[in-house]
Amino acid sequence: MNNRRAQIVDAATVLISERGYQSTSVDDVIRHSGLSGKSHFYHYFKSKEELGYEVLNRSFERFTERGLAILREPMIDPLDRLGLFIDSLVTSMAARNCKGGSPFGNLAAEMADAHEGFRAKIDLVFERWASQIQSLLWEARPRLVDGVDAARMSRFIIATLEGATLMSRVKKDIALMEGIAADLKRFVFFHVREGAQ
């Protein structure tokens, strides 16, 4: 990505995280990215909407590199990977003092009803995330009890993590997310066969 374009996306990511998409103007992004005017912005992006999509894509790429990479680590047992992934989300939220929350959950809450393009793109993000967890659960299937629906469980895991992130953000208390994460791990291990721990 071009340095100037990346600079614009970085500025927009911070602003959207703090204020939301609708409360972030192109002028705000221009000011925060150090551009000299709107013509520079429109050289790189046709619209605020295109920039918003890029912010969403970039956020998921970073999430994939840092977070979802844990789910694909072949040298670690699949269920241990899932536990490490859950812990990494708690650690990330604690490092931000429960501020910001999930960029995907935030945009979903703000834009899913207001903008069909964002709704579709956010849906795709959640589907891609769910497929990573589903693949991990499929890999762990010999250890899981019969009848585990990996697709359904993957969606449940994401919904629980997104909810925990939101609740911790509102409460400003990481202990809340830590407790939910511990309960989620217990729920997953409830589906492990006896003797396969």
pLDDT of residue 57: 87
CA distance 44 to 69: 30
Highest mean pLDDT among 34-43, 70-79, 101-110: 70-79
Backbone angles phi, psi at 144, to 5 degrees: -95, 155
* The model's pTM: 0.86
Q: Is the separation of the CB atoms in 84 and 160 below 8 Å? A: no
Structural domain spans, the chain:
1-45, 59-189
Angle at alpha carbon of residue 151, lines to 117 and 129, rounded to 5°? 45
If you compute the radius of gyration of the chain from its CA atoms, what whole number of angstroms results? 19
For residue 141, what is the DSSP state? G
CA distance 122 to 17: 15
Beta carbons within 10 angstroms of residue 47's beta carbon: 11
> What is the dotted CATH code of the domain comprising 59-189?
1.10.357.10
Using pLDDT thresholds of 50, 70 and 90, give the confidence band for residue 1: low
CA distance 25 to 48: 8
CATH superfamily of 1-45: Homeodomain-like (1.10.10.60)
119-162 pLDDT tens trace? 898 899 899 999 999 999 999 999 999 999 999 999 999 999 99
pLDDT of residue 87: 96
pLDDT of residue 104: 83
Residue 4 in this model has a pLDDT that exceeds 70: yes
Q: How many helices and strands (H and E) does the chain possess?
A: 10, 0
37-51 pLDDT tens trace? 888 899 999 999 999
Lowest mean pLDDT among 107-121, 135-149, 179-193: 107-121
| Residues of the chain by 3-state class (helix, strand, coil), percent to 5 | 75, 0, 25
49-77 pLDDT tens trace? 999 999 888 888 888 887 788 998 999 99
Residue that the structure tokens 């703090």 belong to: 18
Using pLDDT thresholds of 50, 70 and 90, give the confidence band for residue 196: low
Lowest mean pLDDT among 106-115, 130-139, 150-159, 183-192: 106-115
pLDDT of residue 197: 58
